[in-house]
Amino acid sequence: MNDISIRSKNEWYFLVLREMSIRESRDSFWRFCQTLAPEFYQNSRWHLRKTADCLQALYEGTPMPDGKVYRKLMMNSPPRHGKSRTLINWCMWCYGKNITNRIITASYGDDLATDFSRYTRDGIREE
């Protein structure tokens, strides 16, 4: 076997893995985050996994771990824990599920709210 066929097989393998990841992302917000940024959304970061599961349950209207179904969410966690990044991804995932979804965000400053909407818009435009 020559080097060209091996390279083609490797490329094919990674394309198949990528396609499988994209398909899983349609039903799992956590998988969506891992597909976008696998170096950040690692399985060892349990707080990100819990946040993703909570956001997915909120979107789908399924019960949270306490057995209640919630319609609103307020997030409080320390700085640099991935809140904004995860919420931007969640907005993209929600719009991907249904383009007619409406999302309202609130922040402490105008600049942060503007950045949030811009990052969401730019993320949706990416392939």
Query: Which residue is it, tokens 């965000």?
Result: 105
Q: Is the pTM of this model over 0.75?
A: yes
pLDDT digits 0-9 by tens, 86-95: 999 999 999 8
State whether the Cα torsion 111-75-85-56 is positive or negative. Answer: negative
Q: What percentage of the chain carries pLDDT values higher than 70?
A: 94
The Cα-based distances of 92 to 2, 44, 67, 74 in angstroms read 42, 24, 27, 19
Which of left, alpha, beta for 67 (phi over 0: left; psi -120 to 50: alpha)? left
pLDDT digits 0-9 by tens, 65-106: 889 999 888 888 888 899 889 999 999 999 889 989 888 777
- Average pLDDT for the chain: 85
